[in-house]
């Protein structure tokens, strides 16, 4: 069997002030899955993604990408294989034109000439931003900048798209357009969000985190129909979700019941 494309084993991480951000987190994501990491602010969702791409070094346990443990020596390849679209697109856009921004990553990995041009054109076409190639990123709307940020990641041809709060600060039209773009991709998605309605549109599996721990893991519909679980972990169910749920007679915890 192929190893999970993403995996953590007992991952632990604490901030310098001693606050525990990840507490023994174990998670496996198979190739092709679309997984939403749900939870309130401060749950540890973004910290988990940063550990997967080697931007933070865990205090214990390990993170793996494609079966390879993420270390200082392998972090560069992990970041190529896991493309992160950050919450603020301006964190990723810093060149004078959209085309230059999209070309920046693959050029730094040695791609040049016709191959680089083809990669950039393909990425911009995939997000519907080909006409903006010569424009300055700061002249674009927030929704357009987020699409360009996504194109900068796609240009690296990653195995996984990791998205940090992709619906934040988008108007309804831009929100819908970005969702449709993601739905059209045939690749693994890990989405960090507390926007359950958006997660439901794009993902089939939900992993709920709180206080650095995974507290539930299961099909999206089952998680969203568990009103007690959502309330307990400060999450608001989307409209149209029934509060009904099935309860195991033995009263097992959320993680055991839903995993």
User: What pLDDT is stored for residue 240 in this prediction?
Assistant: 63
Residue 3, judged by CB atoms within 10 A of its CB (0-12, 13-18, 19+), counts as middle
**Residue 254 pLDDT more than 60?**
no
Q: What is the pTM of this model?
A: 0.87
Fold of 6-90+159-258: Rossmann fold (3.40.50)
How far apart, in Å, are the Cα atoms of 208 and each of 63, 143, 193, 213, 219? 18, 27, 10, 8, 11
How far apart, in Å, are the Cα atoms of 143 and each of 89, 126, 176? 9, 15, 10
| Other CB atoms within 10 A of residue 218 CB | 18
Q: How much is the average pLDDT of 86-108?
A: 94
Question: Could you report the per-residue pLDDT of 114-135, keeping only the tens digit for each?
Answer: 999 999 999 999 999 999 999 9
More confident residue, 215 or 241: 215
User: What pLDDT is stored for residue 241 in this prediction?
Assistant: 57
Reduced to 3 states (helix: H, G, I; strand: E, B; else coil), residue 128 is coil
Question: Could you report the per-residue pLDDT of 132-168, keeping only the tens digit for each?
Answer: 999 999 999 999 999 999 999 999 999 999 999 999 8
User: What pLDDT is stored for residue 1 in this prediction?
Assistant: 58
């Amino acid at each position: 069997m192929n190893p999970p494309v993403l995996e953590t084993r007992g991952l632990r991480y604490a901030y310098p002030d001693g606050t525990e951000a990840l507490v023994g987190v174990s998670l496996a994501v198979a190739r092709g899955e679309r997984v939403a990491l749900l939870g309130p602010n401060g749950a540890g969702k973004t910290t988990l993604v940063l550990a997967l791409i080697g931007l933070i070094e865990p205090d214990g346990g390990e993170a793996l990408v494609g079966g390879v443990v993420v270390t200082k020596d392998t972090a560069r390849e992990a970041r190529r294989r896991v493309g992160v679209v950050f919450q603020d697109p301006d964190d990723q856009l810093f060149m004078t034109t959209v085309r230059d921004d999209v070309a920046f990553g693959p050029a730094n990995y040695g791609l040049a000439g016709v191959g680089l041009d083809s990669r950039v054109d393909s990425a911009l076409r995939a997000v519907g931003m080909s006409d903006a190639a010569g424009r300055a990123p700061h002249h674009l709307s927030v929704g357009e900048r987020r699409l360009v940020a996504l194109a900068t990641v796609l240009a690296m041809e990653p195995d996984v798209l990791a998205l940090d709060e992709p619906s934040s600060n988008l108007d309804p039209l831009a929100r819908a357009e970005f969702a449709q773009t993601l739905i059209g991709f045939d690749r693994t998605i890990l989405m960090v969000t507390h926007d359950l309605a958006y997660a439901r549109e794009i993902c089939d599996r939900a992993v709920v985190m709180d206080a650095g721990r995974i507290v539930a893991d299961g099909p999206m519909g089952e998680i969203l129909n568990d009103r007690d679980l959502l309330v307990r972990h400060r999450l608001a169910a989307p409209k149209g979700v029934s509060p009904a749920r099935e309860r195991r007679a033995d009263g097992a915890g959320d993680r055991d019941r839903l995993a």
